[in-house]
Amino acid sequence: MQARSTKLMKAPKRKARAKTGVRMPRAERREQILTHAADFFAEYGLTGQTRELATACGISQRLLYRFFPTKAALQAEVYARTILGPFEGAWLGNLTDRKLPIKQRLTDFYGNYYDKVLTRRWLRLFLYSSLAEGDMAPNYISAILVQLLETIVDEACFELKLEPPGEQDFKRELGWNLHGTISHLAIRRHIYHGPHTVPHARMIKAHVTSFVAGLPVVLEESNPPNGE
Amino acid sequence: MQARSTKLMKAPKRKARAKTGVRMPRAERREQILTHAADFFAEYGLTGQTRELATACGISQRLLYRFFPTKAALQAEVYARTILGPFEGAWLGNLTDRKLPIKQRLTDFYGNYYDKVLTRRWLRLFLYSSLAEGDMAPNYISAILVQLLETIVDEACFELKLEPPGEQDFKRELGWNLHGTISHLAIRRHIYHGPHTVPHARMIKAHVTSFVAGLPVVLEESNPPNGE
DNA sequence: CACATTTGTCGTCAACTGACGACTTATGAG
DNA sequence: CTCATAAGTCGTCAGTTGACGACAAATGTG
């Protein structure tokens, strides 16, 4: 089909070039690519093709390689921004502000976490990455999460006048009760495309309530009267 | 590079054939392929290559196409068996056996569910499929899940002498509290490769306890004294 | 033993895909 | 206006990948 044979043809004919769409300063274009790439790979997975990504960006495929040496390098930067980025900053925020009731602190925190972190883009990218490899930078994430989980349990125990579990691992697992439920709420919405009839804010509140109400019972049950 | 030109060459030379490994009856070979394919696609995703799958099976790539017309057809059957299969049968089992305390019923059920359904293979395949498309057969799954969730909440309410929520959607969401936490426990283990220091049986018990203890409080809070 | 049937492999094609050399065009400083 | 430079595209290569025609070897029936 293609005349790619002879190789002698000088081909003096010039094909009409695409009219160089919009010309952009380097930094801005780079930014635009990264933004589109985040959405693109989140939707189609890390195996999504560079040609399709370029089309989504409205540029030629070649131009991608003017900014990133390889596809993997581009994905690494997307990951760093989209996944790692939102985790930084003062996440624990007012979670430790003991002037506020724990239920309100948790509801506020997870309302924010759900909106800012557990987005479609974040979740899908995170899952695609987690599935593809053992890790990409899970240490960083898990370090922050461990901190979060312990804080949650400690703060809840403080308000409830309970002794937090001595076992670190078990304490974290208790935190996962709430964190897992809310993460799964987002997974159902963004990955499984489940119905979303009940507003998530209402369910976050309900899950926080259940967590705080269940904690004393779980602690008592797992920590029999006859001290260890 | 390749001599794909002349097309006249009769090529009378024969290369030594692979010694036809093990010869197997059709049905058995088919079974073997499906088994390996489930693990293979679960590990490497639906974009895993047929050549590598064939190698994993210890057969030639061509042989796959003696049993399945296309890669997609093979994957569809893998999905039907691995994902849909475990959901069939009397799953609700003794969940409705009111002679047993609800906590024991839930602990038994989810202990079994975690071991039989939430396996590495099942979870990874399910996630890869869910991410790849809006659905593959989610209706079937969600129909069963809805049934399960309602049963859980109804049974828990019965034992606690509480009125189940009138809103169907909200009732299901309450069931997701427990179901989501346990699903997420498996996701952490099989997808995120988180540490698994606390035995899952212990955590399932704790989560069931938390759920049952939290339910009355959630119901009361969401259903203000002043009737609707 | 002969041979039809079934099980299995080789080799190849066409489309796909990451990467990149060669080239074109817009922009702005002098 | 001129030209260096940066922004952008075309075309192509080499390796990959789903699919399949042609052929080979094991099996068992008469």
pLDDT score for B1 = 34
B95 and B27 co-located in one domain: no
B120 and B158 co-located in one domain: yes
B95 and B200 co-located in one domain: yes
- What percent of chain B is modeled with pLDDT above 90? 76
Tally of CB atoms within 10 A around B2: 4
pLDDT score for B14 = 43
A99 and A184 co-located in one domain: yes
**Which residues in chain B are contacts of A128 at CB distance < 8 A?**
131
pLDDT tens per residue across span B95-127: 999 999 999 999 999 999 999 999 999 999 999
Residues of A 12-71 whose CB lies less than 7 Å from any atom of strand C: 14, 17, 19-20, 23, 47-51, 61-62, 65, 69-71
Band the pLDDT of B86: cuts 50, 70, 90. confident
pLDDT score for A135 = 57
What's the whole-number average pLDDT of chain A?
88
Is B5 inside a domain boundary? Answer: no
**Which residues in chain B are contacts of A192 at CB distance < 8 A?**
130, 138
Domain end among B82, B114, B136: B82
B47 and B136 co-located in one domain: no
**Which residues in chain B are contacts of A221 at CB distance < 8 A?**
206, 209
A77 and A91 co-located in one domain: no
Rounded distance between C-alpha atoms, residue A181 and residue A118, angstroms: 12
| Closest residue in chain A to residue B188, using alpha carbons only | A180
Least confident of A190-194, A211-215, B220-224: B220-224
- Identify the DSSP state of A165: P
Least confident of A106-115, A216-225, B27-36, B98-107: A216-225
pLDDT tens per residue across span B176-211: 999 999 999 999 999 999 899 999 999 999 999 999
Query: Is B7 a residue whose pLDDT tops 80?
Result: no
Look up residue B57 and give its two tokens.
């099976």
A112 and A204 co-located in one domain: yes
Is residue A29's beta carbon less than 7 angstroms from any atom in nucleic acid strand D?
yes
Rounded distance between C-alpha atoms, residue B114 and residue A153, angstroms: 25
B77 and B167 co-located in one domain: no
Mean pLDDT of A92-103: 93
CATH number at B69 reads 1.10.10.60
Domain end among A51, A82, A113: A82
Band the pLDDT of A16: cuts 50, 70, 90. low
A37 and A123 co-located in one domain: no
Is A56 inside a domain boundary? Answer: yes
Query: Is A1 a residue whose pLDDT tops 50?
Result: no
Instruction: Decide if A175 contacts A152 (C-beta within 8 A).
Output: yes
Domain end among A82, A102, A124: A82
B101 and B141 co-located in one domain: yes
Global confidence as pTM: 0.90
Query: Is B13 a residue whose pLDDT tops 60?
Result: no
Is A215 inside a domain boundary? Answer: yes
Look up residue A192 and give its two tokens.
């499984």
Q: Best mutation site among B188, B210, B218 for testing chain A: the one with the most A CBs within 10 Å?
A: B210
pLDDT score for A134 = 60
End-to-end CA distance of chain A: 79
Is B129 inside a domain boundary? Answer: yes
Between B226 and A133, where is the model more confident? A133
Is residue B32's beta carbon less than 7 angstroms from any atom in nucleic acid strand C?
no
Q: Which of A145, A135, A205, A206 is nearest to A171 (CA)?
A: A145
Q: CB distance A131–B138 less than 8 Å?
A: no
Is B49 inside a domain boundary? Answer: yes
Is B2 inside a domain boundary? Answer: no
CA distance B114 to chain A (A): 15
Structural domain for B188, as ranges? 86-222
B113 and B213 co-located in one domain: yes
Query: Is B91 a residue whose pLDDT tops 80?
Result: no
B77 and B124 co-located in one domain: no
Is B109 inside a domain boundary? Answer: yes
pLDDT score for B10 = 33
Is A5 inside a domain boundary? Answer: no
Total domains present in chain B: 2
CA distance A17 to chain B (A): 31
CATH number at B212 reads 1.10.357
Mean pLDDT of B45-70: 98
pLDDT score for A22 = 79
